[in-house]
Amino acid sequence: MLLSIVMPVFNEEGFLEEIVARVQAVDLGPLERELIIVDDCSSDKSPQILAAMEGQRAVHPSARPFDRPIRVKRHAVNQGKGAALRTGFAEAAGDLVLIQDADLEYDPEDYPKLLNPVLRGKAEVVYGSRFTGERRNMFFHHWVGNKFLTLFTNILFNTTLSDMETCYKLFTRQTLAGIMIKSDRFNFEPEITAKILKKGIRIYEVPISYTGREFHEGKKITWRDGLAALWALAKFRFKD
């Protein structure tokens, strides 16, 4: 079974080498893995770092190499996280598809937690919840925003999620079949959640660790993205 890890990147020169090394180091047992990185027109040194990684099976010699060479896709203009994931999903060949942000907020050591429900036949989609595991506390307004968006999701779709906005989302290939992602930016999260729930698929949650970064460390999401997510939830509840 092949796991496709899709990593959107925009100006992450300070984190790229470490996060890819961490992804490579995770022990997934007999599960094969591939890494697809989508550079969303970075303006820092990310393109040069990725050029050195492209086609390699390993970035750290002491860890297990990827089963397939690292693939890098590039956007000529910056389009946003949703557009980068759309590109990455189209390239993914795996039976399972997992999203990994390029910063260090999410720890790849949590992969086994995410995979376990799927491999045991208990789930088709798994979200890693930042609110049920250990974490570095986030800003209060981010906490309120996440909680409100998740509550709105639960009301609209009759579910009981604790963290709709989480990066860590794992899908079986079958669940993504027929889903066309239209959102280009951070409103990808509500769109994919809405479309999964509208297919009648219940989302399984597991606790993950979380080390949220601050704006001076490169955090990009703002209150405007929260408003866009709110609108996206309402829109995709009633239309495709």
**Is 84 within 8 Å of 41 (Cβ atoms)?**
no
Token digits of residue 229: 């997510």
β strands within 60-146, DSSP E: 71-74, 96-99, 125-129, 135-136
What domains does the chain contain, in order, with CATH numbers? 2-139+163-182+202-218 (3.90.550.10)
pLDDT at site 152? 83
Q: Smallest Cα–Cα separation from 191: which of 225, 143, 145, 147?
A: 225
pTM of the model: 0.88
| Number of other CB atoms surrounding residue 180 within 10 Å | 8
pLDDT tens readout for residues 144-154? 767 788 888 88
pLDDT tens readout for residues 18-36? 999 999 999 999 999 999 9
β strands within 88-235, DSSP E: 96-99, 125-129, 135-136, 169-172, 204-207, 210-211
Query: What band does 218 get if pLDDT is binned at 50, 70 and 90?
Result: very low
Query: What band does 90 get if pLDDT is binned at 50, 70 and 90?
Result: very high
Is residue 213 scored above 60 in pLDDT? no
Is residue 215 scored above 60 in pLDDT? no
Is residue 175 scored above 70 in pLDDT? yes
